[in-house]
Amino acid sequence: MIFSIPASGQVDGNYRKNLKKAYAASSVEECQSSLTFCNEVLKSVPHHPVVNYLIARLNAQLGNNKIAIQQLIKATKLGYTTKLLFNPIHHLNDPAFDSFRSEKEFREVLRILKQAEKPIHNAQIAFTISDKTLNPEGITYDPVEKMFYLGSLSKNKIIKVDHHGNSIDFIKEGQDGLKSVYGIHVDPVRRTLWVCSNSKSNRPEIFKHTLSSGKLIKKYALPIDSNIRQFNDLVIHSNGDIYISGNRSIYTIPHSSDNLELFLREESFSGLNGITLTKDEQTLYVADYLIGVYKVDIKTKSFSLLSNEPGFSMFGIDGLYFKDNILYAVQDAVNTIDRFILNKEGTHVNGCEVFERNSKYLHFPTTGVIVDDYFYFIADTQGKGDKLEGVIVMKAPLKSIN
């Protein structure tokens, strides 16, 4: 079977299904078929850790050990390590490499793996929250009252936190039907808080609350027959328009209509997550968790996948934020917090600087928020890092760390 990849930097809509096939491939025919798909994906996303790893293991199964070693080294440098989130298959336990695991070349792979997993620690703890069961996904900031807001996945509530970590419940558990809280954003001008609420059994919803009291202003829901499973994150235009990421779609709530509407749907998207606006508010950047980052023109709705220099990937991004032609990212799949430096046109990433990687404080990092000269991010959502008993929020300076 031949898998085709759409043009214009898009990736095949059956991406998830084909990755599963590639991991399960065992016969020569299955391996060759999966290799065709993976090599086609690399034409659009050449610096993809998972796809490069799959090419390595498929070639190993076909006896092409030299190619397997080369691709395994590349995948490792791109972030495919034993720390890769939600993936139990890696260099140390993958039977595909058993035939040359004792060879000198494989020992070189292990040396590179050790280097790639070495912790980087440049951020500092901003504050901790004592409730280690909070399990927060989203964080936002109100510059007027100088307060943070964090939403809870497990407790279906939102807390209000000062810079010292002192917190109170702002939206109580299940208030007004609130479910698991994902992306949240403050509109400081209109004094409102916007919330993505998701449930396995109910339709995803957007909640709009007043910041003065937490009172619900309005809920927005999709039609019953909609096939979207969840809303991940949102961003607010200065004119009051809201843009929301979810699965293979971007939705909007225009200030003129105050109704939830489809903005853009594309079958080649695999799972949209973090979303942010450029300074001129003409462009959206949207993280596709399994692929990379898309640049979307708001006026024309045209989009393209960002390219980047070799040596790093844009795979597995949760939170995404724009400032001064730089994208700040919580790349939780590879357990890093990064800044991606864009070219003048905003179409290519010239470089990547890592604030934090595999440090003792990082445990399922999720999202962040830019406050003054710092990037604040939820570093430890589970309250387990460094044996601390609460959720850890860290901050990194926006200036270059090199």
- Residues 191-226 pLDDT 10s: 999 999 998 877 899 999 999 999 999 999 987 666
Tokens of 1: 């079977």
Give the pair of three-digit tokens for residue 265: 């749907």
Instruction: Spell out the CATH class of 121-397.
Output: mainly beta
Contacts of 372 (CB under 8 A, 6+ apart): none
Q: Are 49 and 75 in contact (CB under 8 A)?
A: yes
The set of residues, in sequence order, having a beta carbon less than 8 Å from that of 292 and lying 6+ positions away, is 45, 48, 305, 306, 308, 313, 314, 315
DSSP structural state of residue 106:
H
Which residue has tokens 């070693």?
Answer: 69
**Tens-digit pLDDT string for the chain (402 aa):** 233 333 344 566 678 888 899 999 999 999 999 999 999 899 989 999 999 999 999 999 999 999 999 999 999 999 999 999 888 999 999 999 999 999 999 999 999 999 999 999 999 999 999 888 899 999 999 999 999 999 999 999 999 999 999 999 999 999 999 999 999 999 999 999 999 999 887 789 999 999 999 999 999 998 766 677 889 999 999 999 999 999 889 999 999 999 999 999 998 888 999 999 999 999 999 999 999 999 999 999 999 999 999 999 999 999 999 999 999 999 999 999 999 999 999 999 999 999 999 999 898 899 999 999 999 999 987 656 555 568 999 999 998 665
Both tokens of 385, joined, read 């890092």
- Taking alpha carbons only, the member of 225, 275, 224 closest to residue 249 is 275
Residue with tokens 């606006």: 277
Q: Encoding tokens for residue 28?
A: 């020569």
Task: Provide the 3-class DSSP secondary structure of residue 364.
Answer: coil
Any idea how long the chain is? 402
pLDDT at residue number 165: 94
CB 338 within 8 Å of CB 329 = yes
Cα–Cα dist 168/148, whole Å = 11
Question: Can you read off the two tokens belonging to residue 83?
Answer: 């720390």
Contact 234, 275 (CB under 8 A): yes
**Contact, 327 vs 339, CB < 8 A?**
yes
CA pair distance 289, 397, nearest whole angstrom: 25
> Reduced to 3 states, what is the DSSP secondary structure of residue 385?
helix
- pLDDT for residue 358: 95
CA distance 9 to 3: 15
Q: How far apart (Å, rounded) are the C-alpha atoms in residues 391 and 327?
A: 25
How far apart are the C-alpha atoms of 53 and 2, rounded to whole Å?
A: 20
pLDDT at 2: 30
